[in-house]
Amino acid sequence: MKEWVGFNFQQEIERLKELFGFDYVGIALVQTPERGFELKWAYVTGNQSERHRRIILQSGKGVAGLVFKTGKPMYIGDALNELGTNNLFNYPIVVAEGLKSFGAIPLYKYNRVNGVMLVGYRKNQGLTVEQFEQFKQEIGKKFGPFYDKEMVKDESVQ
């Protein structure tokens, strides 16, 4: 793992934001087990509010919590219609950042989800399925210390 100590998350998400023209990119990381596996937005760029600093998600809650729990990517093309006004508040980061279309992928480490990367636009249908796919290709097999389970056939690779 030592080789990744110098990995600059902030720089990397800013590069991705530039490359795809995303409005917002954030990485939520699992806190230490002593703190009960909570997720916190550790690196963000393009944010319009500071609310993400206060949000600590439990597994299963919010975008990051869901992706964390299921271990599967999540894609929402039209947040308002797909999640519904009455349900939208359960995705606080989406509300706080005013995201209209977004996608999130799990970041694996030791065969477990260790983080979640969220990319999104503040306009409807901003993020298309094709673009989300391209984004996943760009991340590739490895992102810093993490890897993408879908890309790696042999799950024991660390």
Binding site for another protein (CB under 8 A): 33, 36-38, 49, 51-62, 85-86, 88-89, 92, 96, 110-112
User: What does the buried/exposed string (b/e) look like for 96-128 if buried means 16 or more CB atoms within 10 Å of the residue's CB?
Assistant: bbebbbbbbbbbbeeeebbbbbbbbbbeeebbe
Least separation, in Å, of the C-beta of 137 and another protein? 29
Q: Which is nearer to another protein, 65 or 77 (CB)?
A: 65
Query: Measured between alpha carbons, how far is 76 from 129 in angstroms, rounded to an integer?
Result: 9
According to DSSP, the β-strands at 146-147 and 142-143 are antiparallel
Query: Measured between alpha carbons, how far is 115 from 105 in angstroms, rounded to an integer?
Result: 9
Least separation, in Å, of the C-beta of 26 and another protein? 13
Least separation, in Å, of the C-beta of 120 and another protein? 17
Q: Which is nearer to another protein, 16 or 52 (CB)?
A: 52
Least separation, in Å, of the C-beta of 70 and another protein? 13
Q: Which is nearer to another protein, 18 or 155 (CB)?
A: 155
* Residue 53 CB neighbour total at 10 angstroms: 11
Q: Which is nearer to another protein, 31 or 128 (CB)?
A: 31
DSSP state for residue 37 in the 8-state scheme: S
